Amino acid sequence: MARKYEQKRIMKMLLLSGLTVVSLSGCAVVEDLWGELTGNAASSETTDSQTTSASFETETSEEPVESSEESAESIQSSLADQLIDVPEAHTSDWNLILVNRDHQLTANLEFEPYYTENGFILDQRIAERFEAMLADGRAQGMEFVLVSTYRTLADQQANYDSVYQSYLNQGISHEEAVKKTEDYIALPNASEHSTGLAFDITEPDLYYQKDMGLVDDFDQTLEAQWLYEHAPEYGFILRYPKGKEAVTYIQYEAWHFRYVGVENAQYMQENQLTLEEYIEILQHNESIRQQMEANSE
């Protein structure tokens, strides 16, 4: 009763002094004065502290908190944006096997052989498209001469040794002979000819003129121009294009073609990619998809 009486007395004093008080109950001003008069200021400080704390907690709780589900979706979306739009392919596909000095074979590959009309061997899986390409070219007046297709690892070793020896016979050093040999001849376990998916081709006039027609001048022939334009329609690419020597490790070969599949070949032609560069893109996508799969678990 004494507290209530004193609060009313203080209220009257405030009104008389010209101050406006909205509410008596819970009024901080009144409570402070009451504390001063009763010596209970600590109680007022505690009340203010509690009020401030409650206010802060209320404001904090109003901020939106991202749920773990929303966070996962955000990560998935970010990863998906990093995918490169390419044909649906995988680096493990048989037609995309990468063989070069960084990816060498350890044994002869097994595949069902297909024998061309002049006895050359190719992988049976590419036979139909290969024959269709040559037939369509010949129907338009092209004359092709198939020079080389499949070679076993032993065949490639013999080929390498023969070319190397021919350079030594010219009186050049071992180091120079190795360099000249490897400019055009793949290392024994690093030749695409050992896949059954590659072939060397030329035209009759060049074939009888020099090196069985496997020369840069082939790119000036109608046959070469036709192949460069149409080979991707059948799933074949010019494997060692000009300007990409640092990527393929092989000098420009106007005559060497490789099967990779129609969609892959057309994409590579449109984007001027070597097989090495295309595989790198596929590996990038595969890495991103693995991350997406892990994030969804």
Confidence of residue 296 (pLDDT cuts 50, 70, 90): confident
| Side-chain-side CA neighbours of residue 155 (13 Å) | 12
Contact yes or no for 86/285 (Cβ under 8 A): yes
129 CB contacts (<8 Å, ≥6 apart)? 234, 235, 236, 259, 262
Structural domain harbouring 169: 97-259
268 CB contacts (<8 Å, ≥6 apart)? 232, 237, 260, 274, 275, 278
The verdict on 51 and 113 lying in the same domain is no
The verdict on 158 and 219 lying in the same domain is yes
Answer whether residue 180 is part of any domain.
yes
CATH number, residue 103: 3.30.1380.10
Radius of gyration of the chain (CA): 40
Answer whether residue 292 is part of any domain.
no
Instruction: Give the bridge partners for 220, in sequence order.
Output: none
Query: What are the structure tokens assigned to 220, written together?
Result: 């000036």
The verdict on 109 and 212 lying in the same domain is yes
Query: What are the structure tokens assigned to 1, written together?
Result: 């009763």
The verdict on 126 and 45 lying in the same domain is no
Helix (H, G, I), strand (E, B), or coil: what is residue 111? coil
In the listed set 11, 45, 61, which residue is the last one of a domain according to the structure? 61
The verdict on 54 and 127 lying in the same domain is no
pLDDT digits (tens, 9 = 90+) for 145-187: 999 999 999 999 999 999 999 999 999 999 999 999 998 888 9
Helices (runs of H) and strands (runs of E) counted in the chain: 12, 6
pLDDT: is 6 or 202 the higher one? 202
Answer whether residue 12 is part of any domain.
yes
The verdict on 105 and 245 lying in the same domain is yes
Q: What is the mean pLDDT of the chain?
A: 84
Q: How far apart are the first and last CA of the chain?
A: 67
The verdict on 147 and 47 lying in the same domain is no
Query: What are the structure tokens assigned to 113, written together?
Result: 């052989």
Answer whether residue 207 is part of any domain.
yes
The verdict on 129 and 246 lying in the same domain is yes
297 CB contacts (<8 Å, ≥6 apart)? none
pLDDT digits (tens, 9 = 90+) for 89-131: 999 999 999 999 999 999 999 999 999 999 999 999 999 999 9
The verdict on 251 and 184 lying in the same domain is yes
pLDDT digits (tens, 9 = 90+) for 17-58: 444 433 334 444 444 544 544 454 444 444 444 444 444 344
The verdict on 50 and 191 lying in the same domain is no
Answer whether residue 158 is part of any domain.
yes
**Look-up of token digits 């892959």:** 264
The verdict on 42 and 154 lying in the same domain is no
The verdict on 106 and 253 lying in the same domain is yes
* Total number of domains constituting the chain: 2
Answer whether residue 278 is part of any domain.
no
Answer whether residue 284 is part of any domain.
no
Mean pLDDT of 273-294: 96
Answer whether residue 85 is part of any domain.
no
